[in-house]
Chain A
């Protein structure tokens, strides 16, 4: 018993080592899957109990580009993401303004209503979206898929933008109106420059959401509007793990680069929140 206690004490005194080990394991747990994908995508003849692929090749990337038509698919993904971001921002700016700056009776209720799509499992309303879109012939159009993405992106844009507008200083607006600027002029020359960072971060987050969106795309895509996540899913089903890995690397690198790029400008922690101001 005393031995055990001594042992425990020794471990506790080695706190620093413990912390380092813990963080190291954490980092490995997060990054190793991607490293494994990366090696798989350039490895050849990697069978049996080998730590690393015996031969390196870029063949799988050529396959990914030629066979799975990744250029067109990337184009689709980007067109859809840009459309979705535009629509979500156009919805988000006026509504965010109203939420952030106006006294609305029952604001709390209205806000939780707007955030409801984030509380219901996406597959549940994706079913309804797919049925409605079939009737309106929006399936397999870029606009249709982007519109489906807006269902997920818009609540987020409204939330971020209402926080931005709430932080706007009233005195600046008063100064503008005292100087004789009409509301339209105030908006474009005073408000817009002030809220641009907020709009930008909302756009980055909605772009990431749309770029990664899978459930709603799967319910509304067609052969002309396949996006990267859906194509990856189909490739996994086809069972070519090497080609799938190559595609995944192409898909994942932009996301990670964007994350490391935007970390100084916007708090990326917001990316995982988006519910009751968390």
Chain B
């Protein structure tokens, strides 16, 4: 009897401890999300009535397809670039070259400073008067005019990669370091050359880590807002498109909410698809 009472009390205590977290979740995430869902079905500027016109209107615009495709092109190419770059970087850092501690911290800098500042610096660096263009003009033959990087799609992909590769790099590095060196030695003894060891032993073994990290990069790139806002120019992915709707006077909250729901749904759908691919090799 006594034991049962204390057990009930301990369950109550656990629930009480969980309460702030759950309250935060429901109050600051779930409820606002529901407000957005409801708002997206309201006629513009009204708080009663139901309509699906915002979805229909946005999706039937020819521009909608461009916006969605642009969002996916940017986030997927940034993810692929970060995977490529991170794998090379981590393989190099793993050998512990001189100053590897410093480079490990350097890797985190894009995540520690505000994204806006990173984008500003890149805009300056890659601009027509930036050091990159000065270097190209002075030292590379055939380049006479400054090359345009800013406000182009390849430039944006570079910006995204710069800002979001640390997610992939950190997880790849930690997977690579938990790898048992004996496995590689075994492959080496078995007569595989360096490239074969890398291609057939190391890369397959760290693949789960790379993919887990790339999910984070993808999510961040898909939801990226500050970078396309200042560095996107005429290219507006979904997030900027949403922000533009509430910047109209009067603000178009319902239209913005409908776009936000489409964006969230696309992200969840793609992540589910991605996770399925992720699981396949092990199953």
Asked if A10 is at the interface (CB within 8 A of a chain B CB), the reply is no
> Which B residues are in CB contact (< 8 Å) with A252?
113-114, 117
Say yes or no: A36 contacts B131, CB within 8 Å: yes
A122-B225 in contact (CB<8A):
yes
In the bound complex, CA of A146 to CA of B54 (Å): 31
Contact A49 B225, CB 8 Å, known A94-B19, A95-B20, A273-B171: no
Q: Are B121 and A154 touching (Cβ within 8 A)? A: no
Give the interface SS of chain B, mostly helix, strand, loop or mixed: helix
Query: Within the assembled complex, what's the spacing in Å between the Cα atoms of A40 and B116?
Result: 16
B19 touches A233 (CB 8 A): no
Measured CA separation A120–B269 after assembly (Å): 11
* Bound-state Cα–Cα, A37 to B121, Å: 6
Is A198 part of the binding interface, using a Cβ–Cβ cutoff of 8 Å? no
Residues of B within 8 A of A116 (CB): 25, 29
CB pair A94 B129 closer than 8 Å? no
When A122-B225, A128-B36, A278-B212 are in contact, do A248 and B117 touch as well, CB less than 8 Å?
A: yes
Q: Which B residues touch A117, using CB under 8 A?
A: 25, 28-29
A63 within 8 A of B: no
> Are A275 and B216 touching (Cβ within 8 A)?
yes
Contact: B230 with A150, CB < 8 Å?
A: no
Main secondary structure of the interface of A (DSSP, over half): helix
B267 within 8 A of A: yes
Given A114-B21, A241-B124, A278-B171: A125 and B226 interface contact (C-beta under 8 Å)? no
In this complex, how many residues of chain B approach chain A with their Cβ under 8 Å: the count is: 84
B257 in the interface (beta carbon within 8 A): yes
Question: Taking the complex as formed, is B43 at the interface, i.e. its CB lies under 8 A from any CB of chain A?
Answer: no
> Does B50 touch A at the CB level, under 8 Å?
no
Question: How far, in whole Å, are A154 and B254 apart by their CA atoms in the complex?
Answer: 28
**A228 proximity list for chain B (CB < 8 A):** 114
Determine the chain A residues whose CB is within 8 A of the CB of B104 once the complex forms: 269
The 0/1 profile, CB within 8 Å of A marked 1, for residues 131-170 of chain B is: 1001001000000000000000000000000100011001
**CB distance B113 to A255 under 8 Å?**
yes
A124 at the interface (CB under 8 A from B): yes
Residues of chain B within 8 A (CB-CB) of A110 are 18
Chain A 249-273 against B: per-residue CB contact (8 Å), 1 yes, 0 no? Answer: 0011001101110010000110111
The 6 closest A-B pairs by CB, nearest first: A33-B121, A128-B32, A95-B21, A121-B223, A151-B28, A128-B36
What residues of chain B have their CB less than 8 Å away from a CB belonging to chain A? 14, 16-25, 28-29, 31-36, 39, 88-89, 92, 95, 97, 99, 103-118, 120-122, 124-125, 129-131, 134, 137, 162, 166-167, 170-171, 173-174, 212-213, 216, 219, 222-223, 225-226, 229-230, 238-239, 242-243, 246, 253, 256-257, 260-261, 263-264, 267-268, 271
Chain A contact residues, CB within 8 Å of chain B: 19-20, 22-23, 26-27, 29-34, 36-37, 40, 46-49, 51, 90-92, 94-95, 97-99, 102, 104, 110, 113-114, 116-125, 127-132, 147-148, 150-151, 154, 158, 208, 211-212, 214-215, 218, 228-229, 232-233, 236-237, 241, 244-245, 248, 251-252, 255-256, 258-260, 263, 268-269, 271-273, 275-276, 278
